[in-house]
Amino acid sequence: MARHPIKFEFYEHPATCPYCHAKVTVFSLMERLLASPRVCPACKREFFIEDGKAVRIPGESAKKPPKQERSHISKAQERSGR
């Protein structure tokens, strides 16, 4: 039996990262993305593409932690020998 090659049609979904505003292009077999988690290649943060729009994940913050917490974290790293 001869096998015929199967051709898949990929759709291009342009989006903008809601955190760093980098342009991201997502390729999918689906014509319309209803809910798709993605990772931004620029800032490495995860976001959702919901109904064709890029949105932040609820509970994720794009801000840095308060300065007091950052200094506490850096002091702990110094003590551990990093």
Q: Is the pTM of this model over 0.75?
A: no
- Is the pLDDT reported for residue 59 higher than 50? yes
- pLDDT above 70 (res 64): no
> Tell me, what's the pLDDT at 68?
56
Strand-by-strand arrangement of the 35-39 sheet: 35-39, 46-50, 53-56
- Residue 14 scores a pLDDT above 60: yes
Q: Quick one: pLDDT band at residue 16, thresholds 50, 70, 90?
A: very high
pLDDT surpassing 70 at residue 46: yes
